[in-house]
Amino acid sequence: MPGKNGLIRFFKGNLPLGMIIQNPEFTIVELASDLGIDIPTNCTSGTCGTCLVRLKKGIIEYPEDLPPGLDDFLVGEGGFLPCCMSPKGECEIDIIPPL
């Protein structure tokens, strides 16, 4: 379920890549693409984990049952799947996955 609109800041490590206002009609992957930021995807449903990124700051609303592309360890490291999950409000996202 999409979160409240807020400013999304994208980073690659500590390098700022851009920012955009969250739009609940688009996934985080689509919003990143609008900025020219490539987040690889495959299934776009949370099954494969290809789009895994790390939340640096903010809150993600995780589903009660995690999708197959995510596990408790990755969640503990700030990992989430931007193809099917959205932050609640403002956030900072590192496109380098937490591996």
**Mean pLDDT calculated for residue range 67-87:** 94
Q: Return the pLDDT at 88.
A: 87
CATH for the 7-94 domain, from 1.10.645.10, 2.160.10.10, 3.10.20.30, 3.30.565.10: 3.10.20.30
Q: Taking a C-beta distance cutoff of 8 angstroms, is the pair 70, 81 a contact?
A: yes
In this prediction, residue 4 has a pLDDT band, given cuts at 50, 70 and 90, of low
Report pLDDT digits (tens) over 23-74: 988 999 999 999 999 999 999 999 999 999 999 999 988 888 999 999 999 9
Q: Is the pLDDT of residue 3 over 60?
A: no
The span from the CA of 84 to the CA of 12, in Å, is: 20
Structure tokens at 1: 């379920």
Distance of CA 20 to the CA centre of its chain: 13
DSSP 30: H
Looking at residue 50, its pLDDT comes to 96
